[in-house]
Amino acid sequence: MVKYESEEEESISFRVAHRVVAKAVRMAVEERRDTITEEIINQAGEQVLGRLIGLEKEKLSVSVDQILKARKSAGAGSPSEVQKMVKNEEKSLAKEELLRKQIELKPAK
């Protein structure tokens, strides 16, 4: 639910809400903020919708870390997923190194 300036609360579609939040995240990253505030959401909403939205502070306080941690699909940017990718690459590199050593140790025919 979003309350437009001088209006009752109004619903917006998931797609539009997603665009607003995506814009807010980009703004927070560009401004090197670690928290997405109602101010950023309201600014993003105005840019996306072309009008002010009245999101209240009590209804929102999301940190960038919370957003990243929530992204759990393979290849996502959450710390746990990045850690998994690093471990997988380390294992892959170790296997490659072992194979190289085995090839180097094989006697020439």
Place of tokens 């957003």: 67
9/32 same-domain check: yes
58/17 same-domain check: yes
Helices 38-49 and 14-30 meet at what angle, rounded to 10?
120
7/55 same-domain check: yes
Model confidence over 29-67: pLDDT tens digits?
999 988 888 888 889 989 998 887 777 666 655 566 666
| Cβ proximity of 86 and 92 under 8 Å | no
Q: E strand or H helix at 68, and its extent?
A: helix 64-70
Name the CA radius of gyration of the chain, rounded.
23
What is the structure's pLDDT at 1?
45
Domain count, the chain: 2
What is the structure's pLDDT at 6?
39
19/30 same-domain check: yes
11/63 same-domain check: yes
4/51 same-domain check: yes
81/65 same-domain check: no
1/27 same-domain check: yes
3-state secondary structure of 10: strand
Predicted structure pTM score: 0.47
CA 30, chain centre distance (Å): 13
Model confidence over 5-21: pLDDT tens digits?
435 566 778 788 889 98
DSSP secondary structure letter of residue 12: -
Whether pLDDT at 2 is above 70? no
Structural domain boundaries enclosing 84: 73-109
Q: What is the dihedral of CA 31, 29, 67, 41, to 10 degrees?
A: 50
